[in-house]
Structures are given as C-alpha cells and as structure tokens.
Amino acid sequence: MHKKEEFLFAIKRVFPIVMGYLPVGFALGVMAADAGLSPIQMGLMSLFVYAGSAQFIAVDMLGSGTSAIPIIITTFLVNLRHFLFSASLAPYFREIKQSLIPLISFFITDETFAVSITDAEQRPLSHIYYFSLYITAYSCWVLSTIIGTTLGNLIPDTKALGFDFALPGMFLALLCMQFKNARFILIALISGLLSIFFIHIIPGNWNVILATVIAAAIGVLIDEN
C-alpha cells in the first residue's frame, strides 16, 4: 500500500475505537474528579499508563487512600494481559523496522490490539499504519480523560447519569471477548467468586490479585488433561 493509502486506511479503522474511548475516558475523568484528581494529574496518568481498566482501578484506589505499591502491583497484574497481545503481534512486527518496535508496542491496548491484529492477518502493514492507528486512539484517550476531569467538577450527580456502570460495563464486554470456550467461562466464574470471598477476609484490594492468580492456576491444571 502507498503511504497515504495506509494512513487513510488506519484512520478509517480507528473510528470504532475512538467512539469507544470518548465516553469511557470521559467517565473515567468524571470519576477522577470525584476522587479529587486534577485534570493535569489525570492527563499525566493517561499519558504514561494509557490503560483504561487499570486507570479506573487506580483512581478508585487513590480515592480510598490506597498507597502507591498496591496500586502499581494491581496495575501490573491487570495489564499482564498485554503480554499476550504483544506476543501475538510479534510475528507481524517482524515486517516493520525493528528499532521502532519498542515505541510502537507502548500503544498496545485491548482495542488497538483487536483491530490491528485483524488487519495484520489480512495484509502486510508498515509502521505508517501502526503509528496512525495507535497515536489517534492514544490522543483520544488522553484528551477525553482530561476533558472528563475538567467537566466532572461541574457535574454534581454522576450516579444519576449512569457513570457508575461505565467501569463494570467495560469489564463485562471485555470479559465476553475472553470466552473462547467453556473452560474460560468456568475460570471467570471461579475468579469472580474468589474475588468476593477475598474482599470479605482480606482488606486492601488484594482480592483481585489473589483471585486471578488462583483462578488462572486452576485453569492451567484443568488445561493439562
């Protein structure tokens, strides 16, 4: 593909991601304002972290006064899934300049991964495609969270507007993408129930980490046969 063609193709493909990021980023910003974060603080987090669910959790934990180490560990575990995305994209990244891989891989998210792996399976793609798609999605995310935090201070009752559901709704949709077979549904059920169990016996947001490690380990065991 010609450079300009590849750019336009990426812009066309990024559209659904943008439509998804705007309301979720906005909702995150509103929640961040509620937790006492400034638009600059929110913007910095989005610039450096760029991971929706991890940022929702971090904002929630910051709001309840959690210290930095549990937040960073939780972020690491929540974002471990990118390991798989990155590994799956690796064969396609062999077609692009090797020195650009560490930069391009910064922009891998659930959504950019889903779109770009689908496209990469169809046709050879250069760094033009990846940069156009990834940086457009990234800019939308950063801006929507900053705008949300700015306007969030003006919106008094976010509960009435349904923003409380933005986070669970996002997890629900992403979880459904993980249901490749019955085993994954079973592991999800186990993890969800363990999570609620651990909330009641251990304070400090460790429920997610413990439930995940145990449930994924069970997954490995039942996968062996």
Partner 1 sequence: MKIDLNYICLVLGMGFVTYLSRMLPATLLSKQEIPKVFVKFLNFVPAAVLSALLFPGVLMTENKLNIGFSNPLLIAAVLTFPLAYKTKNMFATVLLGMGIVILYNYFI
Which parts of 135-174 interact with partner 1 (CB under 8 A)?
A: 159-174
Name which of 109, 80, 40 is nearest 212 in CA terms: 80
Least distance from partner 1 to the Cβ atom of residue 1, Å: 22
Handedness of CA 81, 72, 164, 141 (dihedral sign): negative
SS3 28: helix
Does 126 engage in binding with partner 1 (CB under 8 A)?
no
Which of 9, 50, 129, 131: binder of partner 1 (CB under 8 A)?
Answer: 50
Identified binder of partner 1 from the candidate list 48, 182, 201, 225, rule CB under 8 A: 48
Which residue type, as a one-letter code, is found at position 20?
G
Whichever of 3 and 179 has its CB closer to partner 1, that residue is: 179
Which residue shows structure tokens 């947001």?
205
Site pattern 167..206 for partner 1 (x: CB under 8 A): xxxxxxxxxxxxx----x--xxxxxxxxxx--x-------
Q: Work out which of 40, 97, 139, 153 binds partner 1, going by CB under 8 A.
A: 40
**Under a CB-based contact definition with an 8 Å cutoff, are residues 10 and 135 in contact?**
no
Kindly tell me which residue out of 62, 128, 133, 142 binds partner 1, with binding defined by CB under 8 A: 62
Alpha helices per DSSP H over the chain = 3-34, 39-48, 52-63, 68-78, 81-93, 101-104, 110-122, 127-152, 166-177, 182-201, 206-223
- Binding residues among 77-106 for partner 1 as defined by CB under 8 A: 77-87, 89-90, 93-94, 101-102, 104-106
- In the complex, what is the shortest distance from the CB of residue 71 to partner 1, in angstroms, rounded to a whole number? 6
Which DSSP letter does residue 159 get?
T
End-to-end CA distance of the chain: give it in Å, rounded: 45
Q: Are 54 and 70 in contact (CB under 8 A)?
A: no
Q: 3 vs 76, which CB is nearer to partner 1?
A: 76
Task: Write down the least CB distance from residue 2 to partner 1, Å.
Answer: 26
Please say whether the beta carbons of 52 and 109 come within 8 A: yes
Tokens of 207: 């429920």
Nearer to partner 1, 154 or 160 (CB): 160
Query: Measured from the CB of residue 50, what is the shortest distance to partner 1 in angstroms?
Result: 7
Q: Least distance in Å: CB of 105 to partner 1?
A: 4
Q: Total binding residues for partner 1 by CB under 8 A?
A: 93
